[in-house]
């Protein structure tokens, strides 16, 4: 397992990236499920077309050796995770899971989003 973290710049784009990443997790409670599904699909499309996260470049996080923003954040808070596995989960599974969760939360359980 690799526990080393990549270097990145803590600049405005880093904070924008952190905000957007947080919205992916908080979005099912804030925004309607169709909006969230569109957002998750756009992120997946970015991975498919560019084979990388476009926001990483804005804060100099190089995507070499399977570095991801998630791995960087989780390592900084003390988790020791394998980069390759984190990248696989983030790029192939996470948005599918979040998409299914937002449908479950809003459509099946009937909770309305707090904002729109």
User: What is the model's pLDDT at position 7?
Assistant: 73
Question: Model-level pTM greater than 0.85?
Answer: yes
Residues 15-33 pLDDT 10s: 999 999 999 999 999 999 9
User: What is the model's pLDDT at position 6?
Assistant: 66
Retrieve residue 49's tokens. Answer: 């077309």
Residues 48-87 pLDDT 10s: 999 999 999 899 898 888 999 999 999 999 999 999 999 9
User: What is the model's pLDDT at position 2?
Assistant: 44
Quick check: helix, strand or coil at residue 98?
Answer: helix
Task: For residues 61 and 99, give the distance between their C-alpha atoms in angstroms, rounded to a whole number.
Answer: 26
User: What is the model's pLDDT at position 3?
Assistant: 42
């Amino acid at each position: 397992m690799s526990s080393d973290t990549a270097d990145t710049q803590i600049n405005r784009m880093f904070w924008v990236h952190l905000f957007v990443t947080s919205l992916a997790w908080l979005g099912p409670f804030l925004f309607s499920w169709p909006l969230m599904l569109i957002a998750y699909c756009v992120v997946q499309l970015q991975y498919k077309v560019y084979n990388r996260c476009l926001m990483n470049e804005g804060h100099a996080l190089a995507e070499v050796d399977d570095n991801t923003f998630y791995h960087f954040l989780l390592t900084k808070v003390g988790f020791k995770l394998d980069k390759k596995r984190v990248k696989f989960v983030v790029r192939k599974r996470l948005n599918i899971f979040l998409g299914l969760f937002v449908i479950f939360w809003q459509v099946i359980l009937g909770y309305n989003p707090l904002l729109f």
